[in-house]
Amino acid sequence: MKMPMIHRPAAACLAMAALAAVLLAGCSKVPDTIRIGVAQPLSGPLAALGQDLLNGVNLAVAELNQGGYMVDGKRVTLEVVPVDDKADAATGKAVARQLVDAGVVAVIGHLNSGVSIEAAPVYSAAGLAQLAISTNPRFTQLGFANTFRLVGNDTLQARALGSFAATQLAAASYAVLDDGTPYGKGLADGAFEQLKAAGKEVAVRKSFDDKTVAFDGLAAELKAAKVEVVVSTLNDFQALALLQGLQKVGHTRVSLLGGDTIKTTDMVRASGMVDGVYATSPVLEAKEFATGKPFLEKYLVAYQKAPAYGGHYTYDSMYVLSAAIQKAKSADPAEIVKALHGINGYAPVIGTMSWDDKGEQRYGAVGVYQLRKGAWELRMRSDRW
């Protein structure tokens, strides 16, 4: 009986090729799980905003994992590591170290400028990309290659505040108030300079801390100075306390123009308290974008409520970050930072995210919104204020 011929060299080559494939897969530089840090205020007065930002990341990660996320030909699971920075700079620095120790490859955080600025050196030392919705210009002026801003900065927003107050809310007397944080004070200072340049009288210019709610004395001072327009960078709960103080002293023929920390769902309680309530924000609403409706529908299904702030920006930033990881073909933080600098990333809601060499968002704009009938309505929007 004739035995079949065995082509041993060919069989050996096939076996070696199979072994090489196994070894190559086993030696892949891409881990099975890639951890993404999210640092936001998840407790305290700003918890609703911070949770919204975390929700955006979680929604994106769930979709990416469900779709079979691949890096350099390998299926990878994305994992969110959330921490609570309590809107406090010292806590922010501490949780930044926690995220570094947890082995995250990038961080989406923080909300507050003072927290982002304090935590930035920690992320920089570890080489981690920091994608922040914070707006203070100093964040990117620190000179770190790993800082990326998701929206327009306070230089643009200050011009929006001052320009809108001077031209659309023309008054004989203004007040400019801030919450003492890097975000609030810097933004208010810029608006103050804009008003002065426009020849407007600023009768009251005051700073507080970001927790003050005792404003009865200030309300009396604003009434005495016959202030008609209050430009404020106080938080929403502080602005509500101030409006209540103005009601007590019978000085409600006033317009309040705030920063983005008053453009919240809680602030709708201010409807009808004074003549007008307005807010500027570089965080444009999801509904303003052509592709915002599908996001809002998915968000509502996932969380049983509408977004409170900028969850669509963190949602988009997670998609752009995931694309940068794929472009880098690596979970190496340094390679991810490099990829982010060179990417023009697809952002499902706002369209695209791209950064200049300082980490500033190339497509930032600032909108002005008016509180009407319990909802925020867009009045105007520009990237050239």
Tell me: do 266 and 205 sit in the same domain. yes
pLDDT at 25: 43
Residue numbers of the domain that contains 179: 155-281+367-382
Tell me: do 164 and 275 sit in the same domain. yes
Tell me: do 94 and 58 sit in the same domain. yes
The whole-angstrom separation of Cα 385 and Cα 377 is 19
pLDDT at 37: 99
pLDDT along the chain (385 residues), means of 10: 45 44 56 98 94 98 98 98 97 98 98 95 98 94 97 94 96 97 90 97 97 97 98 96 98 96 90 97 93 97 94 98 98 98 96 96 94 93 89
pLDDT at 170: 86
Tell me: do 276 and 176 sit in the same domain. yes
Tell me: do 373 and 342 sit in the same domain. no
Tell me: do 264 and 347 sit in the same domain. no
CATH number, domain with residue 246: 3.40.50.2300
Tell me: do 299 and 323 sit in the same domain. yes
The whole-angstrom separation of Cα 235 and Cα 309 is 13
What total number of domains does the chain contain?
A: 2
pLDDT at 2: 45
* Residue 28 belongs to a domain: no
Tell me: do 109 and 171 sit in the same domain. no
Judge contact between 239 and 267, C-beta under 8 A. yes
Question: For the chain, how many helices (H) and strands (E)?
Answer: 12, 16
pLDDT at 17: 44
pLDDT at 161: 97
Q: Which of 137, 106, 112 is nearest to 44 (CA)?
A: 112
Tell me: do 176 and 224 sit in the same domain. yes
The whole-angstrom separation of Cα 251 and Cα 108 is 42
The whole model's pTM is what? 0.80
Tell me: do 271 and 378 sit in the same domain. yes
pLDDT at 308: 87
